[in-house]
Homo-oligomer: A and B are copies of this chain.
Amino acid sequence: MASSDTVEVRGHLLDSGVLSRCATDVRSLGGDYVIERLDVGKDSGDESYARIRVQAEDDAALASILMRLNAYGVNLTEPGEAATRVTETDGVFPADFYSTTNLDTQVRLDGHWVDVQQPEMDCGLVVVRGLEPASVRTVPVSDVRAGDEIVCGAAGVRVTRPAVADRDAETFEFMNSQVSSEKPQALLVRQIADEMRQTKAAGKRILWVGGPAVVHTGAAPAMVALVENGYVDVLFGGNAIATHDIESSMYGTSLGVDLLRGNGVEHGHEHHIRAINAVRRCGSIAAAVEQGVVTSGVMHALVTHGRQFVLVGSVRDDGPLPDVYTDVIAGQRAMRAQLPDVGFAIMVATMLHSVATGNILPASVPLVCVDINPATVTKLADRGSSQARGIVTDIGLFLEQLADELVPQRPRSHRSA
């Protein structure tokens, strides 16, 4: 690390996470850092102060890092003078132009700090020397003209972090959304597959929590492949996932055709209540499998491969199936009894049973929540399952790709549709 410089920052550092973000950025840009000094205000309202030494491979890399830190209000302890360069072409900045934030900013020119007029993010800084003293204003790249004098690099630029003024008046929170559907999902699938393999290798059990969308999105064959290959030790769910799975198995011709043709599952059809009635006649799902009433699907696979399931009912249930706990406290007890040796938990497409499982799961069990609705993922974390990691994606495609990763050799007949 041949190049280094020292930066400093003041403010409510503990609350703001700014130190953490600096650390992440320095490393991601190939540099390193040492916190040389950190003074924490003793009282709750006091500001803190940090001084950090930043290192990089060469001056160019260091300049990149310093400009990035600058954006958080982390300034050079010895800022020096601003360097400028004259633009050669209309609408184009010099390559190493200083890219602005929307925070209050000052530029050091001829030994004086000059306030930047009208701070605006993602602009350059143009120095206007016509009058004395020189002034500095933001200019968007579309409006820069050949001959403009543009600030380059982070030297001589100082950014002020906004003070968090009056605590009691702060009735809204700053937002910091981190549940997003804009992630490389194919990669996430691979990571989950890896975690599942490691869980099995460590002799631990994998817990699934699932909703009926597993069936509706056509992912039952993928799920069956996962059961058959040992990646589902226990399934928590409600009356709906089991009912729709069994309905799909029993009314294969018609509903199967619907699923195959993509016509979707019509609501209000009476098939589900007839399926429930038939299983009630058998006495249990296992008995229905034994008597040949249920011959395929996720529940069939769980029964025939000796996997566990706990179905807990809700007030909106029809029926329910005979295996469903209608007393929710008894259901919670049955779920708790399945937790020992669980080493990985995955929740797909169900808010009610995901939150219920989150309620009883130790924080030490890794937990992934997959849902097309960001609200489900958020709610889980809001309620205390802080270890929850969320993936906002399509359940059908997700399970299909997960089965491709974990059971690559599965026959076509085990693929969806």
Contact = CB atoms under 8 A, between A and B. Distances in A.
Given A38-B38, A171-B191, A102 B385 contact: yes
A41 to B, nearest CB: 8
A262 interface: yes
Interface residues of A, number: 159
A394 interface: yes
A280 interface: yes
Interface in A318-342: 318-320, 322, 326-333, 335-336, 339-340
Given A270-B67, A277-B93, A391-B172, A185 B397 contact: yes
Interface in A90-147: 91-93, 95, 97, 99, 101-104, 118-122, 140-143
A312 interface: yes
Given A178-B173, A315-B353, A184 B259 contact: yes
A254 interface: yes
Interface in A343-361: 352-353, 355-356, 359-361
A280 B88 CA distance: 12
Interface string A379-417: 001111111111111111110110000000000000111
A375 B278 CA distance: 31
Nearest to A178: B173
Interface string A173-199: 111111111111111111100000000
Contact of A213 (B181, B335, B384): B181
12 contacts: A71-B268, A122-B318, A142-B319, A171-B188, A175-B178, A181-B372, A183-B262, A184-B218, A267-B384, A313-B328, A314-B356, A315-B331
